[in-house]
Structures are given as structure tokens and as C-alpha cells.
Amino acid sequence: MIRVVGLGPGAIGSLTIETLELLKEGKKIYLRTEKHPTVDYLKSLSIQFETYDDRYEEYNNFDDVYRSIAEDLIQKHEIHGDIIYGVPGHPLVAETSVKLLIKMCEKNKIDIEILPAVSFIDAVIQSLKLDPIEGLKIIDAFDIKNQVLDKRVGLLITQVYNKSIATDVKIALLEYYKDDMEIYFVRAAGIKGLECTRKIKLYELDRQEDIDYLTSIFIPKELEATLDFQDLIGVINTLRDENGCSWDRLQTHESLKKCLIEECYEVLEAIDEKDEDKIIEELGDVLLQVVFHAQIGKEQGYFNINDVIKGVTSKMINRHPHIFKNIESKNPQQVLESWENIKIEEKGFNNYTDTLKHVPKNLPGLMRAYKVQEKASKLGFDFDSVEPAMEKVLEELQEVKDVYKGNNRAKIEEEVGDLVFSTVNVARMLDIDPEFAVNYTIDKFISRFQYIEENASNRNLDLKDMSLAEMDTLWNESKS
């Protein structure tokens, strides 16, 4: 039998009578660490024990330390039979070595008994006069980067052992909370003479001189601490409510289509301008559209924002097997090929034509043409070089010339479309983004047109009163 006891948060009065009697009678007692206030009291009672403090020097990380302790306890049990293992606080609260020991005992069919104890959480609750029923989330400082922060509950961060760990905790918290938010620094909770609880600003966390292995941090529930994703969902829900905004309540998936496209283009413009504040604002507008559509889906009973997030997260995991499924890493080109193959499998395409049809029809024409050509090219259906593609442009231009004077508008439209499609092909083969190229030309046209207008104005002329020849002269001047 291995009996695991908790030594409480540090005050002698927190030791249970059952634990104390067991320690007095026990012959083979092992403590995870001697660095605990209660240990001096055990010594005063002449209780003999061994500790695992040397393991902290022997290994480079805590996971290895705790694993080695659990493995050694199993070996000690094989040698001595009944043994006692003592840990700070409660054995089942933030005690990795005990978690590992429980698993090893199950594997080796060894009986294990956990004796209850006062945990450091009880001491912190007492020190801060908290009622955990109002919401309390407990996080190990070493795992804070993997946790989701939430202002709607109190947050207790344990094992803030030193300034380095405190810095890591502060950086993680600053991604969510304001830097001047008041938090509680709690040291040696429940230990008379050592206990210290004080308010500090979040940015001051790693500047505290008395940080040690008895330190915890508490961030109180504070709904005004920040605005997060749930707040955005709540705002949209309110706007769509029966007492909400009359305009927002009228919107549908169809009516918002144009808004989504416009917001995406505004993001692109902000990126081109390299305006960080504008990028933040415009990305927010795109996110607003996503949440808005999700709210409509929820109201109609078809889907909600969780379905959207689940879908895209599953897709990203599935399409990156070289990251999430321990498959051999690939270079960027292989990653793209793998992405396309997985996509074909996911969509259930029956033939290559389906991959072309899947390119969204609502894309701008140049972009859609580029993507369709690109997919066909990957299957080998493409010109060998750019020269034949250029000749194709001339061929299509001639076909426009052959029909443009006629009355068959459908035929003229078809031939003009062929000409534009062929021009996109040339751009693609030259590795030029046709959308970028045509927008560059548009900007150039506007700039030269502005030159014409400004020069005309300097001569007290109105463009409408000028001849085409006069405007052409100024146009040619603008080029230089």
C-alpha cells in the first residue's frame, strides 16, 4: 500500500489529525520537498523522513523531476512494502507527482490511498475572502500559455515560483487584460507570520522582490477588464433581438453579401497602405460580418458560431498532416500539393472538372480566371511557354475585330471575354497578379487624368470644353 498525505498549505493547524497520526506511526516516509513550513514541525516531533529535493538539481524540467519521483516510489514500495508519500497542500491539487503515481500504481496493480488535506486553494480563498461559487478558474503558471483567459470568472494562478515565471505569466495576461489592472499578489497563504496579500498593478507583477515557491496570483472577476469575442457575440445578439436595431434585424445572408466583400477589400487596402491601426479596424469589420452571419444561422436553427469555428479548426488540422499527424515534414510546394489533394478528398470531387467548378463564381473575374487556369495547369493543360499565350491574345483580339461591328451582342461579349481570359493567361505565366496589374494601371490612369485636369484648370479651361487632341497633348506630358 502506498499512502499519500497532504501537509496542507503550511500552517500547523492545517494538518489533519489522521495525517499527523499516520506520520507519527509510519516507518518509511518520503516527502517531495523539505521546503515547506510544516516540515519543521514534523522534525520537532522526531518524525524521520527522506526527501526528493535532490531530484530538482538532477533534472532540467519539472516533468522529469515528478516522473522520477513517482518511479522511485514504485521501487521503494517493491522493497519496503507499505510506504507514505507526503506533499505540500492537498495531494490531488496541482500535484503532478501524485497524478503520475496514481497511473503507475494502476499499471502495477499497487493499492494507493489518498488522504484528504487542506489545499493552498482553501488558504487563498480564506485570505482573499472569496466565494468560489461565483466562479474560480485555477491555472498552473507553467501551463498558462495553453489556457483560455476569461474575465467572467476569478483567475487563480499557482506555482509562480520566481521572477522569470512571473514574467511569463505577465506577458500571457497582458494579451488579454489591461496592463494597469489591479491584481492580488498572494504569498504563503494560511501561514501565520508569513502570509502576505496585497494589491498590485499587473505590469508590476515580476517586480515583486518576495516572489518564491509559496506565491500565487489572483485576478478578480471584472467584466469591464477588456472586451473579448463573447462580448462581440453578445452585441450582435442584442442588435438582432426584438428590441434591437431595426436595420440589423432586417438583414439576411443575402443582404449582407455585398458588405462582406466590401469589408474584405478594405482590409486589402489597409494592408497596402501598411496602416496597422486601419488593419485592426478593417479586420474587425470582417470578423463582425462572420459573427453576424453566424447569428443569423443560429436564429434560423441551422448553425452557430461554434459550428463555424469547429469547421475551420478541423479543416486546418486535417489539411496539415505534416504538423498534426506526425507525418514527414514537407517543403512549401509539397504542402500546397498535399493541401489540394486533401481538399479534393474532403469535397468528394468525382473528376478534375469538379475542381474547376469549385472556384467560386462570386470572385472578381480576373481572379476567378487566374485560379481556374492555375488548376488546369497543374493537370498539364497549359502552354509550354508565354510566347504561345501571347499569340493567343492576338488571335482573340482579331476575333473581336471580326465581330465587333455586328449586331450579335452575345457573340461580341463572348469574344471580348476570350480576349480578357487570354490576357490573364499571359499575366499568370509571367507570374503577375492580374488584379494587381490592372489596379496599378487604373491608379496610373487616374494620376495622369489628374494631371490633365489640373493643367486645364491652370489655364482656366474646363475639360468639357477641350478637344481630344488638346487632352492627348497633356496626357503625353503626364507620362514624362
Do 116 and 16 contact (CB within 8 A), yes or no?
yes
Do 89 and 52 contact (CB within 8 A), yes or no?
no
- Reported as a single tens digit per residue, the pLDDT across 333-349 is 777 777 677 777 777 77
Do 161 and 141 contact (CB within 8 A), yes or no?
yes
- Reported as a single tens digit per residue, the pLDDT across 238-267 is 999 999 999 999 999 999 999 998 999 899
- Reported as a single tens digit per residue, the pLDDT across 288-310 is 999 999 999 999 999 999 999 99
The domain 121-219 belongs to what CATH superfamily? Tetrapyrrole methylase, C-terminal domain (3.30.950.10)
- Reported as a single tens digit per residue, the pLDDT across 113-130 is 999 999 888 989 999 999
Do 236 and 291 contact (CB within 8 A), yes or no?
yes
Which residues are within 8 A (CB) of 347 and not within 5 positions of it... i.e. 6 or more apart? 354, 358
Residue matched to cell numbers 487632352: 471
Task: Look over the chain and give the mean of its residue pLDDT values, rounded to a whole number.
Answer: 91
- Reported as a single tens digit per residue, the pLDDT across 129-145 is 999 998 999 999 988 99
pLDDT at 329: 65
CATH number for the domain whose boundaries are 229-318? 1.10.287.1080
pLDDT at 364: 86
Starting at the edge strand that comes first in sequence, how are the strands of the sheet with 215-219 ordered? 136-140, 154-158, 215-219, 182-187, 196-201
pLDDT at 82: 94
How many C-beta neighbours within 10 Å does residue 170 have?
A: 22
Lowest mean pLDDT among 31-40, 328-337, 371-380, 442-451: 328-337
357 DSSP 8-state letter: H
pLDDT at 96: 92
pLDDT at 321: 85
Q: Tell me what percent of the residues of the chain surpass a pLDDT of 70.
A: 100
Q: Residue 41: is its pLDDT beyond 80?
A: yes
Q: What is 2-118's CATH number, 2.60.40.10, 3.40.1010.10, 3.40.630.30, 3.80.30.20?
A: 3.40.1010.10
Q: Residue 34: is its pLDDT beyond 80?
A: yes
| pTM listed for this prediction | 0.70
pLDDT at 379: 83
Lowest mean pLDDT among 21-30, 65-74, 419-428, 455-464: 455-464
- DSSP strand pairing (2-6 vs 112-114): parallel
2-35 as b/e, with b when 16 or more CB fall inside 10 Å?
Answer: bbbbbbbbbbbebbbeebbebbeebebbbbbbee
What distances in angstroms separate CA 249 from CA 61, 256, 299, one per listed residue? 55, 12, 11
pLDDT at 193: 83
57-73 as b/e, with b when 16 or more CB fall inside 10 Å?
Answer: eeeeebeebbbbbbeeb
Which residues are within 8 A (CB) of 130 and not within 5 positions of it... i.e. 6 or more apart? 124, 136, 154, 218
- Reported as a single tens digit per residue, the pLDDT across 404-455 is 999 999 999 999 999 999 999 999 999 999 988 998 999 999 999 999 999 9
- Reported as a single tens digit per residue, the pLDDT across 452-475 is 999 988 988 888 888 999 899 899
Q: How confident is the model at residue 71 (pLDDT cuts 50, 70, 90)?
A: very high
Q: Tell me what percent of the residues of the chain surpass a pLDDT of 90.
A: 69
Residue bearing the bigger pLDDT, 199 or 344? 199
Q: What is the mean pLDDT of residues 69-76?
A: 96
